[in-house]
Amino acid sequence: MDAKEIIARRIAKELKDGDIVNLGIGLPTMVANYLPEGVRVVLQSENGFVGLGGAPDSGKEDQDLVNAGGQCVTINAGGAFFDSAMSFGIIRGGHVDATVLGALEVDETGNLANYMIPGKMVPGMGGAMDLVSGAKRVIIGMIHSAKGSPKILKRCNLPLTAAGQVNLIVTEKAVIDVTEEGLVLKEIGQGVSLEDILKDTEANLIISEELKIMEI
């Protein structure tokens, strides 16, 4: 199982029955494929629909049915389409229970940088600024480090998407709660040592007394 699948499977366990959830582009879209049995969530795509389903089978893609990242998706029975004004009205109105986003950097106070690298041509932030401000819970799903460089920092170096809005960080190595006291390490990945996590994390981590192995 690769790192992205581990992250997506673990985040799927965070979603509760009846939640309205927005999945960001990239890795977060994979979460739709691993929703637990018996848990029904309504997935919202910021480009204008609710009822987002999993990835279509090969050869059954509908080029007119895509998520915010332009990937072909499916829609569940009872889904609905609407314009961007309605979509962002849902987000800004506080109707999204959780959003799952990728990140370039996250820091000890829950600051998030996920939309640009200075001096390089990359996509803009899209709807991320609205999502992190409007969603009731912000879950970050990302690879723990980038080419050996920590992504979980004492302070973000890149321009912020939002300040103090992140609630939970899930990587292939760890599940970390963002609290008023700091970052609390709750779970470690299977086959991953605590020393390995500390080596790849610049931020200070509070080790939970109930630290356990991540279940996926």
Catalytic residue among 46, 105, 108, 187: 46
For residue 1 the two structure tokens come to 């199982």
**46 is an active site residue:** yes
Closest by CA position to 197, among listed 206, 188, 186, 210: 188
Residue with tokens 């049995």: 37
Which DSSP symbol is given to 31? Answer: G
Give the distance from CA 112 to its chain's centroid. Answer: 11
For residue 97 the two structure tokens come to 């229970």
Q: Is 55 exposed, middle or buried (0-12, 13-18, 19+ CB in 10 A)?
A: middle
In this structure, the strands spanning 182-188 and 112-113 are unpaired
Which residues are annotated as catalytic? 46
